[in-house]
A and B are shown apart, each in its own frame.
Chain A
Amino acid sequence: KNEVEQSPQNLTAQEGEFITINCSYSVGISALHWLQQHPGGGIVSLFMLSSGKKKHGRLIATINIQEKHSSLHITASHPRDSAVYICAVRDYGQNFVFGPGTRLSVLP
């Protein structure tokens, strides 16, 4: 069993749809990061969470420490949101452990 799992693996949505990507982890963590990897390969850090909820524009990230689960929501999705979204956790040794990623395609 992987330490960090994501669902779904692949997701195709129509422009304007509300999207949810889930991440569950099995290790104790000091923080959880959501990353976005563009088709060209570049990685952008979207959120760092250790509790609660954060919002940047159309993106919302939540974490439930007790349930070891986090969600990334995209409201009013747009084709430019098409990317791979990666959940990464920092364990207490400060190592990053990455999920396998969710490939999102938003169709116009």
Chain B
Amino acid sequence: DSGVTQTPKHLITATGQRVTLRCSPRSGDLSVYWYQQSLDQGLQFLIQYYNGEERAKGNILERFSAQQFPDLHSELNLSSLELGDSALYFCASTQGVTNTEAFFGQGTRLTVV
């Protein structure tokens, strides 16, 4: 058990809908990262938050947004969903910003139908 909790584990929704994925980092970790893993793309970095502030942005679509709350949990919001958004969404947490071990959640499998 990595200590990182993601909910829900599975999500099936229709095109055009909006969903929220939740990540609770490991106790004491201040940084949260979100990743997308689709069948044909491998793991892609989406966005990083550190202590409530956006720290780095990767290949995140404008339809997607995220935030980190004062209790350090994070939410990834996906809107106007398309079939191509079907993927595994992972979050990971690290204690600091640089050169610290990353711990991954079990992922949320999103299926858009």
A residues adjacent to B (C-beta < 8 A): 30-31, 33, 35, 41-45, 48, 50, 86, 88, 90, 93-101
Contact = CB atoms under 8 A, between A and B. Distances in A.
Interface residues on B, range: 20 to 34
A45 B103 contact: yes
Interface in B81-113: 88, 90, 92, 97-104, 106-107, 109
Interface of B: 2, 33, 35, 42-45, 48, 55-56, 58, 88, 90, 92, 97-104, 106-107, 109
Contact of B48 (A42, A86, A94): A94
B58 to A, nearest CB: 6
Task: Give chain B's interface secondary structure class.
Answer: strand
Contacts of B109: 41
Contacts of A31: 98-99
